[in-house]
Amino acid sequence: MKKILLFTFLLGYSLTYAQEDMKVTDTVNLEEVILTSVRADKKAPFAQSILEKEEIRQRNLGQDLPVLMNFMPSVVTTTDAGAGVGYTGIRVRGSDATRVNVTINGIPFNDSESQGTYWVDLPDFASSVEDLQLQRGIGTSTNGSGAFGASINVQTENVNREASAELSSSFGSYNTFKNNVKFSTGLLNDHFEAAGRLSVIKSDGYIDRATSDLKSYFLQAAYKDQNTLIKALTFGGKEKTYQAWYGIDKETLETNRTFNPAGMYTDDEGNVHFYDNEVDDYQQDHYQFHWTQKFSNYWTTNLGLNYTHGRGYFEQYKEDQDFEDYNMKPIDIGDEIINTTNLIRRRWLDNDFYVANFTVNHQVSNFELIMGGFYSFYNGDHFGEVIWSQYASDSEIRDRYYSGNTNKNEFNVFAKATYKLQDKWTFFLDVQERFVKYKTEGLTSDRVPIDVNERYSFFNPKFGAGFDIDHHNNLYISYARANREPNRNDFENNVTQAETLNDIEAGWRMNTSKIKLNANFYYMYYQNQLVLTGMLDDVGNPIRTTSGESYRAGIEFDADFTLLENLYLRPNFTLSTNKNIDFVSSIDGELINLGKTNISYSPEVIVGNIITYLPLKDMQINFLSKYVGSQYMGNIDSETSKLDSYFVNDLNVVYKIDDVSVFKSITFSGMLNNIFNVKYVSNGYFYTYDDTWSVPGEVTTIEGAGYYPQAEINFLLGVSLQF
């Protein structure tokens, strides 16, 4: 805290001294002020990309937001159901979703305990997004758990000046349907606007029974004048998704790639069945309030408040379960003692998340200072119920066979300063102090006692400089340090040590009328990085381990070329090396230092490209390509854990007709995904265990892997009617 106060005092002193010689800038975008605490300026010395509203609209036919981000630099996406609807995942620079910080209007979206992001809880949220910024690496200070691979800053739709309404429908392969309706009143009396959206998405999924039944809403009320913007928003979703995270082994992948073992059980006569409700059933509602106030040409403030309520369960049919595991007593039936049963269980989450943040922005022509603070409180209940049992023993309805509670408090203060010197140099300084308190007690879902009471204090400095060679070319370099606490699963595995990341970024940007180019070098050095082992727990959550020292280094390139007036090329690629320096693993019953190994789920080559052709004024054709190199699912360089590389291509066509009868426009759009029908796998899991039974007196490490196949050639077609 003393570091923050000293820094703020010095900046204030410098500002007062220099202010007389500075010109006033009176251009303040009140919509953007909401994001100034987490979003990087376009000249900030960090690798960044923007996904604009218009590009989202072209491919927004029901697939999840991570899938729409698939062609951004250093991004790899995957889907459980195989076709982009339902549970989806994203990795950036090899870092999974628990290490990618996501904010919506500056409010953390990552779950406070798991630190993951579950976009299935906000289906069709892309239809309410103005744009999103992907900062790769640590980036600027953000709210919530630190960005250890990237941060995604999402801005919901701006206030619309004109009234509008829109009906959209799409359908496609695997009985995929999406319908939504949107409206905006426009600015009433030049000040007030109300806007909203309702959406329904259904899909059978590419994988057997991987169905999705998704509903969502978005409502916004706003007041706006020259100096004030007030927004009250509520958005959320209800999802019911049949589980598809079990994966399949290599033999099944080759013979029956859509097979889903979820819900499988055997009756008394040996017949195989599948339980019809092996589902995740969850609802999440968000309530946000934002007040942005411009007091003068120099000073702007923003207040943000949030409340999120989530509740739901994961339901499973389980065979031959021990009574003891469910706090039930054995029963006598005649001369037989019964102590196992078939049953159906639900594992519940019920949580509340409260946030308050405040920022102050002081800006003149060549100096900007942003200061702020953030506080959040999370309360989460975990509990399990048996809703049916073949033998009920002494259980009662709604008995809880385990329960636990978690409280997490987080507080941070930060200050960011940008100073431009002589129209050539730009200097950036960002410091943040973050405090975390995590407390959980009770029983885990395996009825193992958990009692954690940890406090963390992190100082996260960042600084950098940029140099404008001319009006078109800019060079930059930056250093950033970040720390982050373990998540709930780590605590369950007795990991309590925080991670530290030191990130160096250096790059070149070029921006002309026909060429936009970004080249970036990064070196990310980790201490106690929690890397994915490849293994999953019994509800599909990844298990992590501390790797000690490790690093990620690479070169990123992305560009936008105007080849002709109607032909554009947007390539990007990442070449990287991702290594554990001294990785220790148990092999054949002994701890062995394997030395330098590859970090799991970190391909060395990622390439994307979009070719855009405009054959007609209102018609656009996009040819999209993605190549992901081979990657290991574990950290011991085992060939069993290796995922093959894949190269997939999609075709997107958009045709818009303006002023048709009562409609402002009619837009037809289509996606032909995986047009060359590639049978590929984008994700999987890897496990090892010690076999002590095959050969008496010997321990042998057994390895295995599971795979998540992605959809073959498939399509989506949609129409949007705008009034």
Kindly indicate the confidence band of residue 16, based on its pLDDT and cuts at 50, 70 and 90. very low
Tokens 């999209």 belong to which residue?
624
Provide the percentage of residues in the chain whose pLDDT is more than 70: 96
Handedness of CA 614, 615, 619, 620 (dihedral sign): negative
Average pLDDT of every residue of the chain:
93
CA dihedral 328, 330, 334, 340 (to 10 degrees): 80
Nearest CA to 583 among 572, 561, 606, 599?
599
Give the mean model confidence (pLDDT) for residues 421-448.
94
Tokens 């982009």 belong to which residue?
84
Beta strands at 272-274 and 367-389: parallel, antiparallel or unpaired: unpaired
Give the mean model confidence (pLDDT) for residues 325-331.
91
- Is the pLDDT at 13 greater than 80, yes or no? no
pLDDT score for 27: 54
Burial class of 16 by CB neighbour count within 10 A (0 to 12, 13 to 18, 19+) = exposed
Nearest CA to 509 among 426, 620, 588?
426
HEC profile of 341-404:
EEEEEEEEEEEEEEEEEEEEEEEECCEEEEEEEEEEEEEEEEEEEEEEECCCCCCCCCCEEEEE
What backbone phi and psi angles, to 5 degrees, belong to 107? -100, 130
pLDDT score for 22: 39
Beta-carbon count within 10 A of 42 CB? 11
CA distance 148 to 444: 27
Domain residue ranges of the chain, discontinuous segments joined by +: 2-722
Q: pLDDT tens digits, residue range 44-90?
A: 999 999 999 999 999 999 999 999 999 999 999 999 999 999 999 99
pLDDT score for 268: 87
Kindly indicate the confidence band of residue 92, based on its pLDDT and cuts at 50, 70 and 90. very high
Tokens 């029963």 belong to which residue?
331
Q: pLDDT tens digits, residue range 488-546?
A: 999 998 899 999 999 999 999 999 999 999 999 999 999 999 999 999 988 888 999 99
Q: Which residues contact 77 (CB under 8 A, 6 or more apart)?
A: 66, 67, 69, 70, 88, 89, 90, 91, 682
pLDDT score for 28: 67
Beta strands at 100-104 and 150-156: parallel, antiparallel or unpaired: parallel
Give the mean model confidence (pLDDT) for residues 427-441.
96
* Helix, strand or coil, per DSSP, at residue 640: helix
CA distance 404 to 385: 13
The answer to whether 49 touches 27, Cβ cutoff 8 Å, is no
Q: pLDDT tens digits, residue range 112-134?
A: 999 999 999 999 999 999 999 99
* Helix, strand or coil, per DSSP, at residue 324: helix
Most distant pair of Cα atoms in the chain: their distance: 96
Q: What is the CATH number of domain 2-722?
A: 2.40.170.20
pTM > 0.95: yes or no: no
Q: pLDDT tens digits, residue range 700-715?
A: 889 999 999 999 999 9
Kindly indicate the confidence band of residue 4, based on its pLDDT and cuts at 50, 70 and 90. very low
In eight-state DSSP terms, residue 90 is: E
In eight-state DSSP terms, residue 126 is: G
Tokens 């800006």 belong to which residue?
363
Nearest CA to 606 among 562, 573, 647?
573
CA distance 70 to 414: 32
- Is the pLDDT at 658 greater than 50, yes or no? yes
- Is the pLDDT at 175 greater than 50, yes or no? yes
Q: pLDDT tens digits, residue range 335-378?
A: 889 999 999 999 999 999 999 999 999 999 899 999 999 999 99
CA distance 39 to 351: 28
In eight-state DSSP terms, residue 119 is: G
* Measured CA angle at 319 (ends 317, 323), to 5 deg: 105
